[in-house]
Amino acid sequence: MINKTVENAAEAVKDIQDGATLMMGGFGLSGIPENCITALLQKGVCNLTIVSNNAGVDEFGIGLFLQKRMVKKMISSYVGENDEFERQLLSGELEVELLPQGTLAERIRAGGAGIPAFFTPAGVGTEVAVGKEVREFNGKLYLMELALEADFSLVKAWKGDTAGNLIFKGTARNFNPMMATAGKITIAEVEELVPAGSLDPNQIHTPGIYVQRIFQGNNYEKRIEQRTVTR
């Protein structure tokens, strides 16, 4: 087996340069690569293009990148719950491409799977369709959408092994598996890193072929946006 292990987050992100395109896993604050975010904040890079479903909240996640003006462009589907994001967007400081969530997911999946483009019904007749080819199949209209790839994909899994195989937990899975496939270099941070051979091959969600670097993260905060309980 090929050993993909690196020492820590700082080591994993050390060659991420200004102007890089990054995919970052997570839905809201669930399943985000917390350790890589902290390492990039410490390293200090700018002019990033970030592909992520959301933009964090003001004080956590990608919101921290926005505060430090590290981001040139966001490609996302939903950016509510982040006042600084909305301010930078409305003032024109931040370039933003908003996409239907399923289109975002499929563009990333296509990028990792060698499919350059595909047709989807989402966004037909809306401003998402502007400038895109529209074609009719079986009497229904579809938009052509292009694959997305990244210089680096930063993903978070529950467990991983030294060969880069990943297992996710709960809805923290979300965009992580497809992003892992679409990065030229994919960095996986996991809550528990085990030797190759320790995970059941039948239970692997992301095969190690997609992962170039893996490390065991620490101090996961896993902040909850909407703590909702029954009494």
Partner 1 sequence: MLTKEQIAKRIAQEVEHRQYINLGIGIPTLVANYIPTHLDVVLQSENGLLGIGPFPKESEVDPDLINAGKQTITMLPGSAIFDSAQSFAMIRGGHVHLTILGAMEVSEQGDIANWKVPGKMVKGMGGAMDLVASAKHIIVAMQHCSKDGHSKLLPTCTLPLTGIRCVKKIVTDLAVLEIAPVGGFILKELAPGITVEEIKFKTAGKLIINGEIPEMTFD
Q: Please give the residue ranges that form the binding site for partner 1 (CB under 8 A).
A: 27-31, 53, 76-81, 86, 89-90, 96, 98-106, 108-109, 120-128, 158, 168-178, 205, 222-231
- 128 or 150, CB closer to partner 1? 128
Shortest distance in whole angstroms from residue 130 CB to partner 1:
11
Question: What is the β-pairing status of strands 134-137 and 140-146?
Answer: antiparallel
Of the pair 10, 129, the CB lying nearest partner 1 is at 129
For the bound state, the minimum distance from the C-beta of residue 124 to partner 1, rounded and expressed in Å, comes to: 7
Closer to partner 1 by Cβ: residue 160 or 162: 160
Q: How far is the CB of 11 from partner 1 (least distance, A)?
A: 26
Which of 45/74 has CB closer to partner 1?
74
Query: Least separation, in Å, of the C-beta of 25 and partner 1?
Result: 10
Rounded to a whole number of angstroms, the minimum distance from the CB of residue 17 to partner 1 is 28
C-beta neighbour count of 219 within 10 angstroms: 7
Q: How far apart are CA 9 and CA 157, in angstroms?
A: 14
Token pair, residue 54, equals 């959301």
* Residue 13 vs 110, nearer CB to partner 1: 110
Distance of alpha carbon 125 from alpha carbon 141, whole angstroms: 9
For residue 38, the one-letter residue type is T
Compute the least distance from the CB of residue 80 to partner 1, in Å.
4
Nearest to 8 by CA among 32, 26, 30, 35: 35
Helices (H), 7-56: 9-12, 34-43
Query: Which H or E element spans position 104?
Result: helix 101-113
Query: Which one, 7 or 230, has the nearer CB to partner 1?
Result: 230
Q: What is the DSSP string of 21-77?
A: EEEE--BTTBT--HHHHHHHHHH---SEEEE-SS--BTTBTTHHHHHTT-EEEEEES
> Is the separation of the CB atoms in 40 and 67 below 8 Å?
no
CB of 13 or CB of 79, closer to partner 1:
79
CA distance 190 to 183: 17
CB of 205 to partner 1, least distance (A): 8
Residue type (1 letter), 151? D
